[in-house]
C-alpha cells in the first residue's frame, strides 16, 4: 500500500512537472516571438527615438523574465545587471551602483554554474537559471527522493513477504512431518491393540508392524535428504509404485466409503535414474492427494507406469471431485490447497522432486471426472 501511494505521488508530481514544462515552453515561444516582432518593428521604424524606446522596452521585458544577468564590457567592467538576489538592488537604473562588489561575487557564482556567453565586440553575458528551471530542479530532486523511498519500501515489502513465505514453509514442513510420522504411529498403535485380543494373529500383526517400522525409517530418510544433493541410482518405477500402493491398501476404508487402489505396471517396471527415497515421496504425495480427495465418499485410484520413448510416465488418476479451476494455474505452489485444514505442501514437494531434482515434468491433465496427475521422468541410460 505504501509503495502504491508513493507511486501515485511520483506520477502526480511527474504530471505536474510535465504540465509546468509545457506551459514554460509555450510562454518562452510567445516571448521569443514578441521579441522578434518588436525588433523587426524597430528596424523598420525610421525614427531613432522610437527605436531607442523599443530597445528599452525589450530590456524591461527580458528583465521581467527573472533570469539573473550581468553584462560586462570588453574591459571587464560591469555595464548592466538584472535580477540579482541582493538587497538593496545594485542594478537599479537610477539608484543602483554597478561597482558594488556583491555584483562581482554573484557573477563568479553564475560563471561556476554556466560559462559566460561571448557577444560581438568582446562583451560577455553572465547568466543564471530562471525561477522555472530552479523549480524543475527541485521537483527532479523530489522525484528521486520519492523513487528512492518507493524502491526501499518495495525491497522491505519483498523481504517481509519472503520471511512470511519462509515461515509458512517451515510450518507446512512441520505439519507434513507430523502427518508423515502420524500415519505409521497410529497404525502401529492399532496393531498393538490387536495383540490384546484373546487370539491375536501374531505373524500377521508382526508383518504389519514391520511395515510401519520400515515406513518410519523411510520418513526419517526423506527429511534427512532435504538440503543435500540427490542420489543417482537406478530405480525400478514399477516396484516403487507397487510398494507405495501396498503400504496404503491395508489402511484404506474397507466397509464404508471404500477406496480401492489399482496398479498397472510391468513387474519391476521401466528404470529411471534418481533418488529412490525422493521419488517414492513424490509418488506417495500424489497417491495421498487422491486418497484425501476421496475421503468421505469412496472411489477408485489407478496408478500406472509405462515407458514412452525416452521417458517413463507415471499416472495417478482418481474419480473424485477433481481440481477447481481457481487453483489450477498455481496448483504446485507451496500453500495452495483445496482441502480445509490442508497446508498445500504435498504437491509442491512432488513438483520439486520431479521437475527440479530429476529434470522431469509433473502436470495435471484434464479428464472428464476426477483428477489425473502425470509425472514424466527421463529413462535411465543403459
The pLDDT confidence band at residue 313, using thresholds 50, 70 and 90, is very high
Cis amide bond preceding 88, omega within 30:
yes
**Average pLDDT of the chain?**
81
Q: For residue 312, which of 272, 278, 255, 350 has the smallest C-alpha distance?
A: 272
Strand partners, 362: 375
DSSP 243-292: HHHHHHGGGS-SSSS-EEEEEE--TT--EEEE-HHHHHHHHHHHHHHHHH
Three-state DSSP state, 339: coil
Domain 231-378 architecture: 2-Layer Sandwich (3.30)
Three-state DSSP state, 362: strand
Three-state DSSP state, 45: coil
Least confident interval from 147-151, 244-248, 249-253, 356-360: 147-151
- 174 has a pLDDT exceeding 70: no
The pLDDT confidence band at residue 176, using thresholds 50, 70 and 90, is low
Q: What's CA 145's distance to the chain center, in Å?
A: 22
Domain boundaries, the chain: 2-135, 231-378
Cβ-based neighbours of 131, under 8 Å, separated by 6 or more: 66
- Specify the pTM: 0.52
C-alpha cell at 79: 555595464
Most confident of 106-115, 206-215, 338-347: 106-115
Residue 354 is predicted with a pLDDT of: 93
Express each pLDDT in 209-219 by its tens digit: 888 888 787 77
> Virtual CA dihedral for 319, 325, 329, 334, nearest 10 degrees?
-70
The pLDDT confidence band at residue 340, using thresholds 50, 70 and 90, is low
Least confident interval from 77-91, 129-143, 307-321: 129-143
Backbone angles phi, psi at 328, to 5 degrees: -65, -35
Q: For residue 311, which of 233, 378, 236 has the smallest C-alpha distance?
A: 378
Per-residue pLDDT, averaged over 294-305, amounts to 91
- 342 has a pLDDT exceeding 60: no
Distance CA 155, CA 268 (A): 51
The percentage of the chain sitting over the pLDDT mark of 70, rounded to a whole number, equals: 81
Residue 374 is predicted with a pLDDT of: 96
Per the model's pLDDT, the better-predicted residue between 21 and 258 turns out to be 258
Per-residue pLDDT, averaged over 315-329, amounts to 86
Cα–Cα distances in Å, from 140 out to 16, 18, 127, 137? 11, 11, 22, 5
C-alpha cell at 190: 492399532
Amino acid at each position: 500500500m505504501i509503495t502504491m501511494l508513493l507511486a501515485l505521488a511520483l506520477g502526480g508530481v511527474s504530471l505536474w512537472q510535465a504540465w509546468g514544462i509545457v506551459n514554460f515552453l509555450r510562454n518562452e515561444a510567445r516571448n521569443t516571438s514578441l521579441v522578434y516582432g518588436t525588433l523587426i518593428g524597430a528596424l523598420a521604424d525610421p525614427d531613432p527615438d522610437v527605436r531607442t524606446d523599443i530597445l528599452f522596452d525589450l530590456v524591461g521585458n527580458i528583465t521581467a523574465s527573472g533570469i539573473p544577468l550581468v553584462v560586462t564590457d570588453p574591459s571587464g567592467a560591469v555595464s548592466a545587471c538584472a535580477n540579482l538576489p541582493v538587497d538593496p538592488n545594485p542594478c537599479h537604473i537610477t539608484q543602483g551602483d554597478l561597482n558594488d562588489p556583491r555584483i562581482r561575487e554573484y557573477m563568479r557564482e553564475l560563471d561556476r554554474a554556466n560559462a559566460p556567453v561571448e557577444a560581438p565586440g568582446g562583451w560577455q553575458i553572465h547568466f543564471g537559471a530562471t525561477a522555472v528551471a530552479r523549480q524543475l530542479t527541485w521537483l527532479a530532486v523530489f522525484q528521486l527522493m520519492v523513487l528512492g523511498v518507493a524502491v526501499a519500501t518495495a525491497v522491505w515489502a519483498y523481504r517481509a513477504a519472503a520471511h512470511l513465505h519462509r515461515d509458512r514453509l517451515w510450518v507446512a514442513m512441520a505439519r507434513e512431518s507430523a502427518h508423515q510420522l502420524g500415519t505409521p504411529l497410529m497404525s502401529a498403535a492399532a496393531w498393538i491393540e490387536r495383540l490384546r485380543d484373546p487370539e491375536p494373529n501374531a505373524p500377521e500383526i508382526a508383518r504389519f508392524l514391520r511395515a510401519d517400522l520400515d515406513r518410519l525409517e523411510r520418513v526419517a530418510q526423506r527429511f534427512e535428504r532435504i538440503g543435500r544433493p540427490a542420489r543417482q541410482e537406478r530405480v525400478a518405477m514399477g516396484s516403487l509404485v507397487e510398494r507405495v500402493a501396498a503400504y496404503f491398501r491395508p489402511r484404506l476404508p474397507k466397509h464404508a466409503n471404500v477406496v480401492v487402489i489399482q496398479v498397472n505396471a510391468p513387474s519391476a517396471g521401466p528404470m529411471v535414474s534418481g533418488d529412490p527415497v525422493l521419488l517414492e515421496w513424490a509418488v506417495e504425495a500424489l497417491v495421498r492427494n487422491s486418497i484425501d480427495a476421496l475421503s468421505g465418499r469412496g472411489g477408485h485410484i489407478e496408478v500406472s507406469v509405462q515407458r514412452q520413448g525416452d521417458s517413463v510416465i507415471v499416472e495417478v488418476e482418481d474419480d473424485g471431485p477433481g481440481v477447481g479451476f481457481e487453483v489450477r494455474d498455481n496448483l504446485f505452489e507451496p500453500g495452495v490447497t483445496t482441502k480445509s485444514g490442508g497446508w498445500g505442501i504435498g504437491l509442491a514437494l512432488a513438483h520439486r522432486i520431479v521437475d527440479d531434482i530429476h529434470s522431469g515434468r509433473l502436470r495435471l491433465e484434464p479428464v472428464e471426472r476426477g483428477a489425473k496427475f502425470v509425472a514424466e521422468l527421463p529413462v535411465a541410460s543403459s
